[in-house]
Amino acid sequence: MTIPHLQNSLDALLSGVTPAVGHILDRALAGEDITVEEATQLFDASGTDLLVMTAAADYLRKTTVGDVVTYVVNRNINFTNVCVKACGFCAFSRGHLGEEGYFLPLEEVIQRAREARELGATEVCVQAGLAPGIDGWYYVKLCKAIKEALPELHIHGFSPEEVLNGSTLTGVTVRDYLSALKDAGVGSLPGTSAEILVDEVRDQISPGRIPTAKWVELIQTAHALDIPTTSTIMYGHIENSHHKAVHLEILRDIQKRTGGITEFVPLSFVFDETPIYHRKRIPGLRPGASGAEVMKMYAVSRLMLNKWIPNLQVSWVKEGPKLSQISLMAGANDFGGTLINESISTAAGAGYGQLMKPSQFRNMIREMGRIPAERSTTYNKIRIFETEENPVDLLDQVEDPEERFGSYNKLIRLKDYRFKDFYHAQKGS
């Protein structure tokens, strides 16, 4: 059965696509790798081009990974906010002698991991600042302690910046340090510290941060050791369309060589409390990504990475539930994790991050006509909810997450975990 008026309208819509964009979309839909130059054109798209581009990305999503949208039950544990670096986009870090610098002792980290496991979590994500006075092997010690207490829990831990820090402090190679982390129980690495993989941009927003070449080397070394990683981008600051396209190409090239990237996670810049936004010293700094930029980021990522990195994750912390939900129509197929605690984006001014309950994920996914599923860190499906059945998980029963789990704003005010007390104890003063 044909619907003439609808067909005519669709034909008219498609005729409004510019020839250049139409050609690029045709190549992507045919399974060809689009170039940096082509991706740059897509990032600059608007109007009908943008509408059709998101539809093409959604079609590729459907044909590649289907209608299942996944999430993971996890908890973030940021064991210290003290850092020797001064990245301009970071509002999380504090100085080592400040009143708001904290350090969670080992037993507190294990307690938080155990609580998460008892509430159904399969993963803990362990990341922190680069604190002075900490032994270089501390990351390894921390993993061993978690694994001894909770051997079935997946440790998703330590950014490339942290791994490089551990390697530097201990005097061993990056490869040897990664091997030690793996032996201690690390199951995967967050592919953060990436921001945007263009050094001229990195040098402005985060001088002294791990350079692009070193980030790539470290990620590939992890993959060579059978340690999978995620991959990310932070956008909506001073980068342009070409920078974003270059970033995606770097990730695609890594994946072609190693196959070790589990997912790609676009992270829009949360600006409200960041130093670079308040100092206003960087010309052209934007206050985060617009809604159109967010949709283009997901769509172009799907079109460029589809056959190489099939899992594209929305960041409900950065975008909020509503825009994250809509992003499922632009190529995304994963909702990320429950988190339970999120400190880094929260410190920067994000309005979300404390906890997304499993039932909330399932409801949002079903509203988009998709099938929710709980997954592992490495995308093995644990439970697929093909019917309308919506079980009540233990996390669903938490009535006041901040009261139950604490929050970043509460944590930085607790006297029990003052980093300066830990630091002075380490120094013997």
Q: In angstroms, rounded to a whole number, what is the distance separating the alpha carbons of residues 45 and 42?
A: 5
Average pLDDT over residues 177-200: 96
Q: Are 203 and 195 in contact (CB under 8 A)?
A: no
pTM (whole model) above 0.85: yes
Q: Are 244 and 43 in contact (CB under 8 A)?
A: yes
**Residue 141 in tokens:** 């010690």
Please write down the HEC assignment for all residues of 64-107.
Answer: HHCCEEEEECEEEEECECECCCCCCCCCCCECCCCCCCEECCHH
CA dihedral 151, 153, 158, 164 (to 10 degrees): 30
pLDDT at 340: 94
Q: Are 195 and 205 in contact (CB under 8 A)?
A: yes
Q: Are 230 and 188 in contact (CB under 8 A)?
A: yes
- Cα distances (Å, whole numbers) of residue 94 to 33, 81, 139: 43, 6, 20
Closest CA to 335 of 317, 349, 351, 348: 317
Share of the chain above pLDDT 70, in %: 97
Query: Confidence class of residue 1 from pLDDT cuts 50, 70 and 90?
Result: very low
The number of distinct structural domains making up the chain is 1
229-235 and 186-188 strand pairing: unpaired
SS3 383: strand
In a domain, 5, yes or no: no
In a domain, 12, yes or no: no
pLDDT in tens, 123-139: 999 999 999 999 999 99
Strand partners, 157: 126
In a domain, 200, yes or no: yes
CATH number, domain of 160, equals: 3.20.20.70
Q: What is the side-by-side order of every strand in the sheet holding 68-72?
A: 334-337, 68-72, 371-375, 381-384
Residue 156 backbone phi and psi in degrees, to 5:
-105, 100
In a domain, 124, yes or no: yes
pLDDT in tens, 285-315: 999 999 999 999 999 999 999 999 999 999 9
In a domain, 279, yes or no: yes
pLDDT in tens, 309-362: 999 999 999 999 999 999 999 999 999 999 998 776 666 566 676 899 999 999
In Å, how far from its chain's centre is CA 217?
A: 20
**Residue 27 in tokens:** 């190549």
In Å, how far from its chain's centre is CA 229?
A: 11
In a domain, 4, yes or no: no
Average pLDDT over residues 66-81: 96
pLDDT at 49: 97
pLDDT at 428: 64
Domain that holds residue 226: 62-427
pLDDT at 197: 97
In a domain, 30, yes or no: no
In a domain, 20, yes or no: no
Average pLDDT over residues 103-110: 96
